[in-house]
């Protein structure tokens, strides 16, 4: 039977392509199984089933409104009062999407940085000490030490070490975002979730932020939502492509960007989307 070449190519493309991880150096630390998210009656995420490798960077890409933030915010239960989340979120073998989970303790292990830098109207020092003090760390030496290491890890220490008592609101956008990272890592989480952390930043700050994330990989597992495909390609090991509330493709970043298995992914990463 005669088959048009284009049709043949399209048929060769899969509908959906999601790999399971098997890297013994970077075991799976977090995974979701059959995750659905509903805002009221409206389903915004259909069946999220991803695995995240420890001490690696995973990028979530996809057009705006495709459910990336919805998915990410479900991972540390930030959607609790906003949406209904069904399915399993397995963190080191424990389903953290159960009602019996202490979300406050869980969020200590799964930290989050938002799109818009959101430091508190407090001093730089107090911003970082905030979560530590909540957990009863009050010793001045201990606090000083953690504030310093957190700021160093976030590559902000050199710029602010003399201004620790100044208001965090005086920082530039890039500095404020790195302060938010320092604040999140001060409580030593396992996993760091970032939702388009560079979208409000200029290119130079974005570059610095990416360097920071690459260096943080050594200590933390990083999951980052980004609308910037070059960014995903530059920093991540794995990439998930979201479209219309579905994970259409999940594979290594190089696979997604050079040889995607799904037609829509191919269109999206090559800029022919629309």
Partner 1 sequence: MKTTEQLEAKLKRRSKAAKLEIWGRLVSLTALMLIVAVVVAIIGFVASKGIATFTSNHVSLWDFLSGKSWNPGVNGANGKPEVGALPMIVGSFLITILSAIVATPFAIGTAVFMNEISPNKGAKILQPVTELLVGIPSVVYGFIGLSVVVPTTRAIFGGSGFGILSGTCVLFVMILPTVTSMSADALRAVPRYYREASLALGATQWQTIYKVVLRAATPGLMTAVVFGMARAFGEALAVQMVIGNAALMPNSLVSPSSTLTSVLTTGIGNTVMGSLQNNALWSLALVLLFMSLVFNLIIRLIGRKGRLQ
Ligand X SMILES: Nc1ncnc2c1ncn2[C@@H]1O[C@H](COP(=O)(O)OP(=O)(O)O)[C@@H](O)[C@H]1O
Applying CB under 8 A, which of residues 58, 70, 76, 231 lies at the interface with partner 1?
76
Window 18-57: residues binding partner 1 (CB under 8 A): none
CB neighbours (10 Å) of residue 267?
14
Q: Which is nearer to partner 1, 198 or 247 (CB)?
A: 198
Q: Which is nearer to partner 1, 195 or 210 (CB)?
A: 195
Stretch that binds ligand X, among 58-66, 103-111, 155-163, 180-188 (CB under 6 A): 58-66
Q: Which is nearer to ligand X, 61 or 151 (CB)?
A: 61
Instruction: Report if residue 183 touches partner 1, rule: CB under 8 A.
Output: yes
Stretch that binds Mg ion, among 19-27, 35-43, 63-71, 205-213 (CB under 5 A): 63-71
Report the first-to-last Cα separation within the chain, whole angstroms: 32
Residues 199, 149, 207, CA angle at the centre, nearest 5°?
25
Q: Which is nearer to ligand X, 48 or 117 (CB)?
A: 48
Query: If contact means CB under 5 to 8 A according to the sort of partner, which of ligand X, partner 1, Mg ion, none does residue 44 touch?
Result: ligand X
Contact assessment for residue 152 and residue 192, using Cβ atoms and an 8 Å cutoff = no
The total number of residues written for the chain in this structure: 274
Applying CB under 6 A, which of residues 67, 117, 174, 189 lies at the interface with ligand X?
67
Q: Is 1 helix (H, G, I), strand (E, B) or coil?
A: coil
- Which residues fall within 8 angstroms of residue 242, CB to CB, at 6 or more apart? 60, 61, 62, 63, 66, 67, 68, 71, 248
Residue whose tokens read 């799964």 = 110
Q: Which is nearer to partner 1, 123 or 226 (CB)?
A: 123
Instruction: Report if residue 77 touches ligand X, rule: CB under 6 A.
Output: no
Q: Which residues bind partner 1 (CB under 8 A)?
A: 76, 78, 104-108, 111-112, 114, 116, 118-121, 130-131, 134-135, 167, 169, 180, 183-184, 187
Q: Which residues bind ligand X (CB under 6 A)?
A: 39, 44, 62, 64-70, 82
């Amino acid at each position: 039977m005669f088959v048009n070449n284009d049709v043949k190519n399209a048929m060769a493309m899969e509908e959906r392509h999601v790999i399971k991880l098997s890297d013994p150096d970077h075991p799976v630390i977090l995974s979701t199984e059959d995750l659905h998210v509903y805002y009221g009656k409206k389903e915004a995420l259909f069946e999220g089933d991803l695995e995240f490798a420890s001490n690696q960077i995973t990028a979530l890409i996809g057009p705006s409104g495709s459910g990336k933030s919805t998915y990410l915010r479900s991972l540390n239960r930030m959607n609790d009062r906003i949406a209904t989340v069904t399915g399993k979120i397995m963190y080191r073998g424990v389903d953290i999407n159960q009602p019996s989970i202490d979300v406050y303790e869980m969020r200590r292990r799964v930290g989050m940085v938002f799109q818009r830098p959101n430091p508190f109207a407090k001093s730089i020092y107090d911003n970082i000490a905030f979560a530590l003090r909540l957990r009863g760390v009050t010793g001045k030496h201990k606090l000083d030490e953690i504030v310093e290491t957190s700021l160093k890890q976030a590559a902000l220490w050199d710029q602010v070490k003399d201004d620790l008592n100044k208001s965090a609101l005086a920082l530039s956008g890039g500095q404020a975002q790195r302060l938010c990272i320092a604040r999140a890592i001060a409580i030593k989480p396992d996993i760091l979730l970032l939702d388009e952390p560079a979208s409000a930043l200029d290119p130079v700050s974005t570059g610095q932020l990416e360097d920071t994330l690459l260096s943080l990989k050594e200590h933390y597992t990083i999951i980052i939502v980004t609308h910037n495909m070059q960014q995903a390609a530059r920093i991540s090991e794995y990439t998930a492509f979201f479209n219309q509330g579905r994970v259409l493709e999940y594979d290594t970043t190089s696979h997604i960007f050079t040889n995607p298995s799904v037609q829509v992914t191919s269109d999206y990463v090559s800029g022919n989307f629309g």
